[in-house]
Structure 1
């Protein structure tokens, strides 16, 4: 599995990393690579990303 983080990540290291598999997307804290990993179904992840792009989670 290949982990990657955003090219927009700050130097302070407050980042998450993602890895994709056939039916799931995994997310972990980049500062604790041996720590817990969250797993999301591919469909749920796609809906989340679409919501982010649409500004659904922006603070008002």
Structure 2
């Protein structure tokens, strides 16, 4: 079973031509993950600041 990162690399290299219909779904999922990671980092920083103050 291939991991998502491997599929993304192959898609970026145009090696997964048959995956074209699914590409938009993968891209939007990766963008969503990226956004969630950013939000998590901000929340962790805010929690750290609040813990230092209290």
Category of TM-score, reference length = shorter chain:
0.3 to 0.5
Higher helix share: 2
Structure of higher CA gyration radius:
2
Q: Which has the higher contact order (CA 8 A, sep 6+)?
A: 1
Q: TM-score, normalised by structure 2?
A: 0.33
Higher strand share: 1
